[in-house]
């Protein structure tokens, strides 16, 4: 079948809107008519991978309606409304112990994973498109997914809001609810007020008595963090952030989350922790943070990585959707809709900090 897709032919050039051919679903595949696709930093990072293997079809926060299923698919049916998330094998030791984000086949399944026989799912002008991103490549009018990364949701759900539960919102909320688990009286410092950090803030607000600090460079996002209930909002420009956090909290944060992936920011978050506290890092950056090992040892501090909120999507996404449905997790405040053809405007607004979570609509 033919559909419209947003392709990257050159990481230094604008995305292009093109007509592509999509193969029919194989026995284990699910054809989804995409209604909304969240734009995540991970899409942009992976846009530059494989410069000679073009074009690339990204998108890993898709939401839509099942159009058709393969003969072996029983978990979903045509007409189901779904959110697409990351793939996992379901059988390796990590999957078997409830940690599918750390699936031992994750790279093969999610990093432009191919079919077993290497046949193309998507072509343009008869040439293969590099797809299979997070098992969906949902920057398109239709996408092929599988049962392990397809979550059925309420048909009344707004696809533009629920799409980002597949990755960004799941990551931020999961880092707080599944990993850090602050309780009443805790101080949580969040570094970065983008979609992941804002979802983390909203998740923390569902726990009575947790106090929050958001550190963010963009004025518009600082203002939004205040509106969403942050107890303190800090501009890191020209500020000793570690000192400011220690002063506000009376000795240091009990929990911290770094969403930036910037080594110096992670080091600041670590320095601002109180004794025995933990900072979780979710940002896909690079480099080595300047950490004082004596501080780590003598104060028993911890740095911990976290993928996809350490979540089991089949359980956690419905839980988050329940919180959202009850008005306890108002992530709709974070979403700005853009027609898929306006992806460059969406990226510009995201880069400027005037938009938190841009979502393409189809």
- List helix spans (H) across the chain: 41-47, 93-96, 106-110, 159-162, 168-174, 195-204, 219-227, 241-249, 263-271, 293-299, 313-325, 343-352
Q: Is the pLDDT of residue 50 over 80?
A: no
pLDDT at position 140, please?
Answer: 98
pLDDT above 70 as % of the chain: 99
pLDDT at position 227, please?
Answer: 97
Query: How many angstroms separate the CA atoms of 14 and 245, rounded?
Result: 40
Q: Domain coordinates of the chain in residue numbers?
A: 2-166+330-361, 172-307
Q: Is the pLDDT of residue 116 over 90?
A: no
Query: How many angstroms separate the CA atoms of 273 and 253, rounded?
Result: 5
pLDDT one-digit tens code per residue, 276-314: 999 999 998 888 999 989 989 999 999 999 999 999 999
Query: How many angstroms separate the CA atoms of 31 and 289, rounded?
Result: 43
Mean confidence (pLDDT) of the chain: 95
Query: How many angstroms separate the CA atoms of 48 and 27, rounded?
Result: 32
Yes or no: domain 2-166+330-361 corresponds to CATH 3.50.50.60 = no
pLDDT at position 239, please?
Answer: 86
In CATH terms, 172-307 corresponds, of 3.40.50.720, 2.40.30.10, 3.30.70.20, 3.10.20.30, to 3.40.50.720
pLDDT one-digit tens code per residue, 183-242: 999 999 999 999 999 999 999 999 999 999 999 999 999 999 999 999 999 999 988 999
pLDDT at position 342, please?
Answer: 98
Retrieve residue 160's tokens: 């533009």
Global pTM reads 0.95
Q: How many CB atoms lie within 10 A of CB 269?
A: 27
Q: What is the CA radius of gyration of the chain?
A: 20
Average pLDDT over residues 335-342: 98
Measuring CA to CA, which residue among 145, 174, 148, 183 is closest to residue 319?
174
pLDDT one-digit tens code per residue, 247-271: 999 999 999 999 999 999 999 999 9
Contact present, 60 and 134 (Cβ < 8 Å): yes
Contact present, 132 and 113 (Cβ < 8 Å): yes
Contact present, 123 and 3 (Cβ < 8 Å): no
Average pLDDT over residues 117-140: 95
Contact present, 291 and 224 (Cβ < 8 Å): no
Sequence-distant (6+) residues with CB within 8 A of 214 are 189, 190, 193, 197, 201, 222, 225, 230, 232, 233, 234
Q: How many CB atoms lie within 10 A of CB 14?
A: 11
Q: Is the pLDDT of residue 51 over 80?
A: no
pLDDT above 90 as % of the chain: 91
Contact present, 56 and 129 (Cβ < 8 Å): yes
**263-271 helix and 241-249 helix, angle to the nearest 10 degrees:** 30
Query: How many angstroms separate the CA atoms of 39 and 35, rounded?
Result: 13
pLDDT one-digit tens code per residue, 146-156: 999 999 999 99
The CB-based long-range contact list for 9-15 (8 Å cut-off, 24+ gap) reads 9/54, 9/55, 9/56, 10/54, 11/47, 11/48, 11/51, 14/344, 15/343, 15/344
Retrieve residue 197's tokens: 């950090």
Q: Residue 46 — pLDDT band, cuts 50, 70, 90? A: confident
Please give the backbone phi and psi of residue 359, each rounded to the nearest 5 degrees, phi first.
-130, 125
Q: Is the pLDDT of residue 2 over 60?
A: yes
């Amino acid at each position: 079948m033919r559909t419209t897709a947003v392709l990257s032919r050159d990481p230094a050039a604008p995305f292009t809107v093109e007509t592509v051919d999509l193969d029919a679903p194989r026995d284990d595949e699910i054809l989804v008519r995409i209604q909304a696709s969240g734009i995540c930093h991970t899409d942009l990072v992976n846009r530059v991978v494989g410069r000679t293997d073009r074009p690339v079809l990204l998108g890993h926060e898709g939401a839509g309606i099942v159009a058709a299923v393969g003969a072996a698919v029983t978990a979903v049916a045509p007409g189901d409304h779904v959110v697409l998330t990351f793939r996992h094998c379901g059988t390796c030791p990590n999957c078997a112990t409830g940690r599918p984000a750390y699936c031992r086949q994750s790279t093969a399944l999610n990093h432009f994973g191919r079919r077993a026989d290497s046949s193309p799912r998507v072509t343009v002008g008869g040439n293969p498109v590099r797809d299979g991103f997070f098992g969906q490549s949902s920057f398109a009018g239709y996408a092929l997914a599988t049962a392990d990364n397809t979550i059925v949701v309420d048909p009344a759900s707004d696809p533009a809001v629920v799409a980002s539960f597949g990755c960004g919102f799941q990551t931020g909320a999961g880092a707080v609810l599944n990993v850090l688990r602050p309780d009443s009286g805790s101080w949580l410092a969040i570094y970065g007020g983008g979609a992941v950090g804002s979802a983390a803030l909203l998740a923390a607000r569902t726990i009575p008595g947790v106090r929050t600090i958001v550190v963010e460079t963009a004025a518009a996002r600082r203002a939004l963090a205040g509106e969403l209930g942050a107890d303190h909002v800090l501009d890191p420009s020209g500020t000793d952030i570690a000192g400011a956090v220690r002063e506000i909290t009376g000795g240091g944060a009990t929990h911290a989350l770094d969403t930036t992936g910037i080594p110096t920011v992670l080091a600041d978050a670590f320095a601002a922790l109180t004794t025995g506290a933990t900072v979780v890092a979710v940002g896909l950056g690079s480099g080595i943070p300047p950490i004082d090992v004596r501080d780590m040892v003598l104060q028993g501090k911890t740095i911990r990585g976290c993928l996809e909120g350490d979540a089991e999507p089949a359980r956690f996404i419905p839980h988050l959707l329940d919180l959202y449905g009850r008005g306890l997790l108002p992530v709709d405040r974070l979403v700005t809709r853009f027609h898929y053809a306006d992806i460059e405007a969406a990226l510009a607004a995201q880069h400027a900090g005037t938009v938190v979570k841009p979502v393409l609509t189809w």
